[in-house]
Copies of this chain bind each other. A is one copy, B any other.
């Protein structure tokens, strides 16, 4: 016998009230929340579609994790503190084992960041997950893509290209080494840089998260800021696992345009670099300087001191391939 929608929601998605600022959570027409005085509300929404954002064979626990992680990553880029989420889950039918795993992935990440699920809906249809995350930041202090200024340094968190390589390994049939398994985990369980986002907020001038690949995303940052950038490709942070598995040349391509990194791209005035590095050290996230902001338009890529043209420009959902 099939479960009704309401019983479904209750069974898998109602959790004990985790936050005092949730006045009314799941179960009514809308949720009621207390937003602290003196803070801006910060809102991000992202949708994952089966076969496009994740493989149809992806573990449901990973899907639940990623659906929330990609949104938390957007809040991290603003330097915001996440608080609440809503979930729209469209799925072909009720598979309770799938739902239990999906919910485990979602709530494991949510609880780690004290995010309360306060609303949502479940619908029959092709597997599509839309999550909205709500958070707050001190009034006027959230970081934006438009904040980069001429002379600022450009930095990225973590390492780039791992998730894209992981996806390639998932699609392959070869036996997977520990390094390949680690790359796969970088695709399946990306780490939103919430703590680093909060730590960098007083020091960075601008920020965005890397979801579509550095090449495409950096172009958006410089366009929003009305500046240009110069990037030294030799300095891109590449993980030992990625280098070992795919070699330097392919690692570079994936770091430039692979996408799904969910690392942060920051601009910072040179005078604040040391303070930023100290703050990043406290939350134990690696920061790598990859270039700087210049006066002009576009991005100049260099390698071994020579100009370089990246082959791919990053992921666009509707572009002609």
**Copies assembled:** 2
Interface string of A42-74 (1 = CB under 8 A from B): 111111011111000000000000000000011
Q: List, sorted by A's number, 11 A–B pairs whose CB atoms are closer than 8 Å.
A: A4-B316, A28-B146, A29-B44, A29-B78, A29-B208, A33-B42, A43-B84, A43-B118, A45-B130, A47-B88, A88-B88
A313: nearest chain-B partner, CB-CB: B4
Asked if A137 is an interface residue, CB under 8 A from chain B, the answer is yes
- Closest partner residue, chain B, to A209 (CB atom): B29
Cβ-defined contact, B318 with A5, below 8 A: yes
Residues of B within 8 A of A78 (CB): 28-30, 32
Q: Does A285 interact with chain B (Cβ within 8 Å)?
A: no
Closest 10 A-B residue pairs measured CB to CB? A49-B125, A30-B44, A126-B126, A130-B130, A29-B74, A29-B77, A33-B41, A47-B88, A4-B316, A88-B130
Q: How large is the interface on A (under 10, 10 to 19, 20 to 34, 35 or more residues)?
A: 35 or more
Cβ–Cβ contact A88 & B45, under 8 A? yes
Q: Bound complex: CA of A169 vs CA of B137, how far in Å?
A: 50
Question: Given known contacts A6-B316, A318-B122, A318-B124, is B93 in contact with A130 (CB within 8 Å)?
Answer: no
Which A132-176 residues have a C-beta within 8 angstroms of B?
Answer: 132, 134-135, 137, 139-140, 142, 144-146
- Taking a contact as CB atoms under 8 Å apart, the answer to whether B43 and A134 are in contact is yes
Contact (Cβ within 8 A) B208 A45? no
Known: A4-B318, A4-B319, A33-B41; 20 extra A-B contacts, CB below 8 A, are A2-B319, A23-B40, A27-B145, A28-B78, A28-B144, A28-B224, A29-B209, A32-B40, A32-B42, A32-B78, A34-B41, A34-B139, A41-B41, A47-B123, A49-B124, A86-B132, A88-B130, A90-B128, A123-B317, A130-B130
